[in-house]
Chain A
Amino acid sequence: MANVLQLPVVPTSLLQGWTPPTASKKSVSPLVERKLLPAGPAYLAHVRRQVHNLSFEDIDKHAEEERLRLEALNGNGVNGEDDLGVGDEEESEELLIQDPKEWKKQDHYAVLGLSHLRYKATPEQIKIAHRKKVLKHHPDKKAGISVTHSTNDDAFFKCIQKANEVLTNPERRRQFDSVDPYYGALEEDVPSASDFKPAKGKDGKEKDIDPKRFFDEFGPVFEREARFSKKTPVPMLGVFEDGKEKVEGFYDFWYNFDSWRSFEYLDKEINEGSDNRDDKRYTEKKNKSERARRKKEDTARLRTLVDLTLSVDPRIKRIKQEEKDAREAKKKTKGGVPANQKAKLEDEKKKAEEEAKQKEEEEKIARAEAKKAKAAAANAAKKARRQERAAQENDAAS
């Protein structure tokens, strides 16, 4: 579309009872003859339109192509070379006025215009970005542009140089990456346990955590944390459908996470001016303990994070359930009884038990009776024997 001129006017609503007026004139007023000045792109477009009999739309298209061509020729990178996706970032006013003395607080990536890449930026990209910024902000280029801020003109250039110094040295870059302020802010709002407190449903039962929410919240967290790993590749959170092995592998890795993160960048500066050796040693010692403390805190932080993740991971629940089901399924296939006959079976069993009980009781009674009978029989036999003996004695005596 052609450039649309935006007007600030706001015409108001339709007049009540407005009727379209009848045209008081059939055509527009007659044209007058003029002589153009053969100058400028507008004239070129005018001529092209006439010569090639183009419509306004064709001209729009042509102008757009021309613009893209020129952009490709000049705009992209230095001397039209590929800039490896460094691009041009906008520089905020805040960024430009920062004090180079406070370089520890500056965001080196933002200064070099690499805030979209950060720790992912390759050394080549850093080099290109630095060159771009230097070309733009070199004090020589600023000379004479404005008289108003001549004193502090090279402040941002110093910031650029400092940023380059930090980011091109692998050790120092690692230190800065460890405490990158951009991620520092993100680390603050890692999902907490309370965020994932299982909500109570109406029936008082605990509702399951929505897997989508879980992966949305924790996925980026682990992607971020992965940059500190000494071992690569780092297993990522994955997806809901992941198998047991994968999930276990993930937790296994993250519980044994080996981080290169260090906190030298936050060291208090050793007062170089002081000759006092003890002073220096004291600060050094303090720094060392502080580093250790921070490292410990960081390890603990990660541990808590993994703990939390494990506790709310919907996959664990799913896997447990699956395992249980699998076990039972296995058992049932062994028994060869379909599950729905279980109740019946139990009933039968009960019945059988009851019957057996009854039988037993009956038997008991029978046994008791038999015993009684036996005893009675024995008694009778005894009696008979006694009577016999008595009769014998009586016989003998008599």
Chain B
Amino acid sequence: MAPKSMPNGTAEAPIEVVSAYAPVVGITFGNSFASIAVLTKEGLAECIANEDGERQIACAVAFQGEEMYIGNQAKHQLVKNSQNTITGFRNLLGKKFSEIPKDKATNSAPIIQHPSIPDEPAYTVKILQPAPAPLPATARTATNTPAASVVATPRSEPIPAERTFTVSEVTTIFLKSLLQSAENFLGKKVDGAVISVPAWFNNTQKDALSKAAEDAGVKVLQLLDEAGAVAVAISNQSTGLAPDRTQLIVDLGSSSLELSLLSLRQGLAYLLASSSDPTVGGDQIDAKLIKFFAKEFAKKTKTPLTVAPATDAQDKRAEAKLLLAVEHTKRTLSASPGAATCSVESLKDGLDFTGSINRMRFDLEVRAVYNQVYDKVKKLVEGAGLDLYDVDEIVYVGGSACLPGLDETLAQGFPETIFTPFTAGTIVGGGVGDPTTILARGCALQAQLLASLGDEDIEVKKAFESRSERLDVKATSKTIGVLFPEENASEGLGGQWIAMLLKETPVPSRRTVGFEVDLGESDSKKVAFEIWEVKEGIKVEKIKPPKIDLDEGEEEEEEEDIEVKEKTIEKEAVLGSILMDAHAAVKENGRWKTKLELQFVVNLNGGVDVGVWEAEKASNKVFVSLSAP
């Protein structure tokens, strides 16, 4: 049946789909790149692309003529218009001019002392002011032609001018563009945002950032530590990992390396240690890579080219061009194991360049950077009084952390069971472990959480502020668990060990586990276990590597001992024991079995209530309390 024709304008407007999620966004604002994430209808956080189709938006603002470029377009201005291109402004937020080291060479607009505000860093750029509007037609003569005016006719072409921006103003401009992109994507006004900040940001820097954001029209819900954003993004996914674990976050951005060691206890996270190193980063990788390509270019074309650092003006331009091109090369390398190309038109002296590099060669070139990261990781973990074997999971953050070579280098020190996004295969194709978007997604989820609080009492909301007293928490210092004594367990602890409360667990907390118990053949059906406090350690054994028969004549190599590490548990103190009768036991193959549920509740003062009951018959309960320290 053909539909009846309707006059235009009578059709009802489609019903607007109301999302259950508030229009909030997560923004990561790094020194070199930023990204935005929103919540999809399904409640998943998703990193969105801006108008240029970029998910990683370069933190750059460039001025040319009357135009202002923001993001990746601005980065291209570094080639010919570097003096009017502002980059790397995030790290200068909240800093005084005197605090900024001046020795660092830059290929963008230089930082200067603000002409009017004392001790304030600023940038000066040359712009063209748009031509003033022509004079309004005013009086008319008798013959209806414009009368002569006393005011001089304004210029019809734009006027060259100079403008000075403070760091805060540049940040505002940039954040405004991010907000615009998010609003264009969502189709409605953004209600609020969570912005990530590095762990080393102090309160002045945080204040400066939130002020710049407020100026840009962003309602800042929270300034979230990057480690916190990772914790949110990770805890939102099911990885099959234990809810209590130690997590290492390796953030290899383009301008710095930030490491954090987290204690994750059922989603509650706190930093065990963190470090930041601005000398290691993607820029170092870029430098190594462009050096490699410059060498190749020189070899191919017999045109000398020295980059990183470049001195000649022409070389500088070639360097900028190469830097833009290797971005693509790096992405190709992290995505596929094959060779990646780098092509630049008119690199120097009008000569084009096309070169390729495979992953092996690339890893060889940047091995030094990888090793630096590994050393830093080792130092950090040791500084926290732990061993690499105590780390259960590695999370990578930042574009450079996508490189598989980094994971391979780090893997040598960690146990084989370690969980990384590379082993899980979630690094590519928008997987959950994607290092480039993980921060933004974590921020978006956090924003959603804060927005969902609605008008709940202020006290809860206040707890999310960075200076809240609620952040101070007490944590257990020793692992507590239960030991089921077994007959023929001569080595180790002498039975089946179940760790219930790991050390570094914030109080108050509760852990419940369920498991099956074999009660043996006798009909007494008794369950007994001891509650122990234990010390965990790492046993390092040196074993001689198996001898390989070398062919005669070959030089006998110096054989090194291989270190074999093993986690150990040492009993320290027994805190109590429980003996109970099983009522709901079932006979299976001649042996009695029952399911037990064991619960540990730590109170605020550190006292532990241990409860155990049968899963099938919860009334059969036994309780023991361990007194607080």
**Interface residues in chain A, defined as those with a beta carbon under 8 Å from any beta carbon in chain B:** 1-16, 18, 20-44, 46-51, 56, 70, 73-74, 79-80, 144
Contact = CB atoms under 8 A, between A and B. Distances in A.
Interface in B399-454: 429, 442, 445-446, 449, 453
B224 interface: yes
B270 interface: yes
Contacts of B626: 27-28
A11 B267 contact: no
Contacts, number: 233
Nearest to A72: B20
A54 to B, nearest CB: 10
Interface string B208-248: 00000000000000101101110110011000000100000
A30 B487 CA distance: 33
A20 B460 contact: no
Contact of B512 (A2, A16, A44): A2
Contacts of A27: 575, 606-607, 626-629
Given A10-B518, A13-B518, A39 B513 contact: no
Contacts of A39: 224-225, 228-229, 231-232, 269, 442, 446
B270 A42 contact: no
Contacts of A7: 498, 513-515
A41 B450 CA distance: 9
Contacts of B457: 51
Contacts of A28: 476, 478, 480, 533, 575, 606-608, 626-629
A51 B20 contact: no
B20 A43 contact: no
Contact of B475 (A4, A32, A37, A42): A32
Contacts of A79: 15, 17-18
Interface stretch (B66-74, B80-88, B160-168, B502-510): B502-510
Contacts of A40: 228, 231-232, 235-236, 267-269, 445-446, 449
Give the interface centre of A1, A31, A144 by most chain B CB atoms within 10 Å: A31
A40 B232 CA distance: 5
B573 A24 contact: yes
Interface residues of B, number: 98
Contacts of A36: 268-270, 470-473, 506
Contacts of B15: 79
24 contacts: A7-B513, A8-B515, A11-B484, A18-B485, A23-B573, A25-B574, A27-B627, A30-B606, A30-B629, A31-B606, A33-B473, A34-B270, A35-B271, A35-B471, A37-B227, A37-B271, A39-B224, A39-B269, A40-B236, A47-B460, A47-B470, A56-B510, A70-B43, A79-B18
A34 to B, nearest CB: 5
Interface string B448-492: 010001000101100111101011111111101000111100000
B622 interface: no
Contact of B533 (A12, A25, A35, A144): A25
A223 to B, nearest CB: 36
Given A34-B473, A47-B460, A47-B470, A42 B267 contact: yes
B472 A35 contact: yes
Interface string B566-610: 000000011111010000000000010100010001000011100
A21 B528 CA distance: 11
B438 to A, nearest CB: 13
A219 B409 CA distance: 71
B574 A15 contact: no
A5 B511 CA distance: 8
Contacts of A44: 449, 453, 460
B527 A14 contact: yes
A33 B476 CA distance: 9
B477 to A, nearest CB: 5
A218 to B, nearest CB: 39
Contacts of B484: 11-12
Q: Which 3 A-B pairs have the closest CB atoms?
A: A42-B267, A13-B520, A39-B228
Nearest to A60: B510
Nearest to A144: B429
B181 interface: no
B271 A31 contact: no
A49 B526 CA distance: 37
B288 to A, nearest CB: 32
Given A15-B485, A29-B533, A40-B267, A51 B460 contact: yes
B160 to A, nearest CB: 48
B477 A31 contact: yes
B495 interface: yes
Contact of A38 (B224, B495, B576): B224
B516 interface: yes
A9 B598 CA distance: 13
A23 B574 contact: yes
Nearest to A3: B512
A16 to B, nearest CB: 7
A21 B531 CA distance: 10
A50 B262 CA distance: 23
A1 B480 CA distance: 22
Contact of B513 (A4, A50, A80): A4
Contacts of A9: 496, 498, 515
A31 B514 contact: no
Given A28-B606, A39-B229, A50-B470, A4 B575 contact: no
Contacts of B228: 37-40
A5 B514 contact: yes
A34 B269 contact: no
Given A35-B271, A37-B271, A47 B463 contact: yes
A140 to B, nearest CB: 15
> In the complex, which of the residues A25, A28, A33, A56 has the most CB atoms of chain B within 10 Å of its own CB atom?
A28
